[in-house]
Amino acid sequence: MNQSGFIRCEATRVGEDTTLSQIVRMVSDAAATKAPIAKVADRVSGVFVPAVISIAVITTAVWLLAGQTLGFALARGISVLVISCPCALGLATPVAIMVGNGMGAKNGILFKTAVSLEETGKTEIVALDKTGTITRGEPKVTDILPADGVSENDLLSLAYALEQRSEHPLARAIIHRAQEDALEAQDVTDFRALPGNGLRARLGDTLLTGGSMKYMQSAASISEETLALCEGLASQGKTPLLFARGKQLLGVIAVADVIKEDSPEAIRALQNMGIRVVMLTGDNERTARAIGAQAGVDEVIAGVLPGGKAQVIRKLKLQGKVAMVGDGINDAPALTRADIGIAIGAGTDIAIDAADVVLMHSRLSDVPAAIRMSRATLKNIHENLFWAFFYNVIGIPLAAGLWYPIFGLKLSPMFGAAAMSLSSFCVVTNALRLNLFKLHDAAKDKKIKRKYKEVKPMTKTMKIEGMMCKHCEARVKKTLEAIDGVIEAEVSHEAGTAIVTMDKPVADDVLRQAIEAQDYPVLGIE
């Protein structure tokens, strides 16, 4: 509350662009879409309505033939029509979807569509990006280890000069440390970032390189002692970054990213729900396994290049339904490729756009909460459908007067209307019970025993003419991997072949046409 003075405010987003408006639109859009189970109810209704009309006509005719008055026979037929009004059947799914979606939104979990709300609970494997998802995404420099004849300041200063143009989280850690030490960044030229490997640039006439241990082994001469040192740092969950001037190694700077406080607990919760948890990272094997052990994941897939995450998701999908959780630009293809894409709310806009579910609070603990909400909603829908069918199974014979000759029981159309209203009331009330559901309560989690599928991928070898270089290889590889059913393509311009791995049959003509459209003749497919 400003009681004196002057405040100047700038609205960066207004109207439909505000976060609140986007949340409202997402919830509204999700409520307007149909879940797959709703389509089942629609198909049932398509049979149910003509069946009920036929039963009403037959009931009236049977009672007339049995010698009852026209009034009695019509009352029985009308009672059948009234009591069997498919309102409860029609309400069973959309009301539960609306309430479940609203509950998710209240807790910062936005399901973009009714399909995502239903399908999230069927997840069998959760793939987690490491940086920014399991970890804070704010790595810090832990060790500065210069080579002989190089001071800490020199190593950090040259690393700062190289990293200042990089947007990688590890680069930001070095930049932050250099700024803390009041170092000035030297200007470099010919800067190049090599995704998944490192950086290179020129400082005057000198070539500076920096990056992973694997990359730097080809860029500079590294002793066995340094390699052992790097492996020791990696086993502690730190990422060793090596820097060189020309072929001379300047030293090693170790960087570590802290695991979020709720990550291990969230991963345990997923495992208790019968879900396999896989961590994806571009880190080296040792570092990745150390962080994976701290987080408690079931499997670690290390050394994944930015463009390779979607490839990993394709392979995991052979074993079961996969949910991918990520926050970065390079996670977007994997989020799209997965059965369910879950984006961390603090992530990039492109990741949020590509996902099916958005976690506004950016907590990993919201992943098991989203799965619980989905499972609870689906269970509620099943209860509603059961009640709707059970009510009709009991009500229609009573309305038709089936028990009249035996017990003297008959139902007046007025009471039939009341019973019909009561059935709809029960379905809506049952759906509203979801408002009492506790998303973060793991006490009632049911562990589902799953047998993961072992699907043997199929392979085809294509003989391709006209590939001259690595660029041709990359073009052919990208074209083949964009085809539905293709998991991976290993392309060699030297051998003139492409080995295509598929998770389902893909016609030779489809493969041939895709490649020949890129002006590469296909000589044969085996």
Kind plus residue range of the DSSP H or E element containing 37: helix 36-65
Residue among 506, 510, 380, 352 nearest 436 (CA)? 380
Looking at residues 159-187, what average pLDDT do you find?
A: 87
Spatial separation of the C-alpha atoms in residues 255 and 96, rounded to whole Å:
47
Residue located via tokens 């704010």: 138
pLDDT at 372: 93
Torsion of CA 211, 216, 220, 224, to 10 degrees: 120
In a domain, 30, yes or no: no
In a domain, 23, yes or no: no
Looking at residues 364-385, what average pLDDT do you find?
A: 90
In a domain, 113, yes or no: yes
CB 240 within 8 Å of CB 201: no
In a domain, 4, yes or no: no
Residue 230 and residue 301 share a domain:
no
Q: Indicate the DSSP class of residue 21.
A: H
Model confidence band, residue 32 (pLDDT cutoffs 50, 70, 90): low
**Both tokens assigned to 186:** 């030297």
Whichever domain contains 181, its CATH number is 3.40.1110.10
Residue among 238, 260, 270, 264 nearest 344 (CA)? 260
Looking at residues 323-350, what average pLDDT do you find?
A: 81
Looking at residues 43-60, what average pLDDT do you find?
A: 79
Residue 270 and residue 125 share a domain:
yes
- 192 pLDDT more than 60: yes
Spatial separation of the C-alpha atoms in residues 109 and 383, rounded to whole Å:
24
Looking at residues 205-216, what average pLDDT do you find?
A: 88
- 456 pLDDT more than 60: yes
Residue 214 and residue 150 share a domain:
yes
Q: Of the candidates 414, 444, 474, which is a domain's last residue?
A: 444
Q: Of the candidates 238, 256, 274, which is a domain's last residue?
A: 256
CB 376 within 8 Å of CB 446: no
Spatial separation of the C-alpha atoms in residues 258 and 139, rounded to whole Å:
7
- 35 pLDDT more than 70: no
Q: Where in the sequence is the domain holding 131, given as residue range(s)?
A: 109-136+260-370
Residue 160 and residue 150 share a domain:
yes
Spatial separation of the C-alpha atoms in residues 320 and 323, rounded to whole Å:
10
CB 368 within 8 Å of CB 270: yes
Spatial separation of the C-alpha atoms in residues 96 and 429, rounded to whole Å:
10
In a domain, 172, yes or no: yes
Q: Of the candidates 370, 385, 419, which is a domain's last residue?
A: 370
Total domain count, the chain:
4
Residue among 516, 513, 467 nearest 493 (CA)? 467
Model confidence band, residue 125 (pLDDT cutoffs 50, 70, 90): very high
Residue 164 and residue 267 share a domain:
no
pLDDT in tens, 300-309: 998 887 667 8
- 326 pLDDT more than 80: yes
Residue 292 and residue 234 share a domain:
no
Residue 474 and residue 415 share a domain:
no
Spatial separation of the C-alpha atoms in residues 232 and 213, rounded to whole Å:
12
pLDDT at 127: 93
**Both tokens assigned to 220:** 């500079």
Looking at 25-34, 209-218, 440-449, which range is the least confident one? 25-34
Residue 338 and residue 264 share a domain:
yes
pLDDT in tens, 227-268: 899 888 888 888 899 999 988 889 999 998 888 888 999 999
Spatial separation of the C-alpha atoms in residues 73 and 52, rounded to whole Å:
16
Residue 362 and residue 382 share a domain:
no
Give me the active site residues, please: 129
Residue 250 and residue 144 share a domain:
yes
Pairing of strands 458-464, 340-344: unpaired
Residue 267 and residue 311 share a domain:
yes
Mean pLDDT of the chain: 83
CB 88 within 8 Å of CB 284: no
Whichever domain contains 274, its CATH number is 3.40.50.1000
Model confidence band, residue 417 (pLDDT cutoffs 50, 70, 90): confident
pLDDT in tens, 54-87: 888 888 888 888 888 888 888 888 887 777 767 7
3-state secondary structure of 482: coil
| Burial (CB count within 10 angstroms: exposed 0-12, middle 13-18, buried 19+), residue 219 | buried
In a domain, 182, yes or no: yes
Q: How far is CA 494 from the centre of its chain?
A: 38
In a domain, 337, yes or no: yes
In a domain, 245, yes or no: yes
Share of the chain above pLDDT 90, in %: 14
**Both tokens assigned to 437:** 């559901």
Residue 247 and residue 163 share a domain:
yes
